[in-house]
Amino acid sequence: MNRRDIRKAMDQIHISAEMQEEMIANIQEQMLHGKKRTWSRKKPWGLRPPLC
C-alpha cells in the first residue's frame, strides 16, 4: 500500500449532487434568515461521566 493507493481509493469518493443542492438550500436559509445551526455543542446526557 502506498501514496498512490490511498489517493486512488479516496478519489472514488464524491459528494452527491442531491447533497450539494440540499446544502446550498440550507446555507441560503441560514445566511439569509439566520436559522439556527443544525447541530448543537451540548453534550448528550448519555455521554456524561458518572457522578461517583
Partner 1 sequence: MGIEQDIRDAVLKYSDMLYRICMVILCNEQDVQDAMQDTFCRYLEKKPDFCDREHEKAWLIRVATNICRDMVRLRIRHPKICIDELEDSLAAPEQKEILKELFELPVRQKTVIYLHYVEGYHIKEIADILGTTEGAVKMRLRRGRKQMQLSWKESCNG
* Contact predicate 30/37, CB 8 Å: yes
For the segment 22-41, give every residue that binds partner 1 (CB under 8 A).
22-24, 26-28, 30-32, 37-39, 41
- As a whole number of angstroms, the distance between CA 1 and CA 5 comes to 6
Name the grid cell of 33: 434568515
Q: Site for partner 1 (CB under 8 A): which residue of 33, 36, 44, 52?
A: 44
Residues that bind partner 1 (CB under 8 A): 1, 3, 5-15, 19-20, 22-24, 26-28, 30-32, 37-39, 41, 43-44, 47
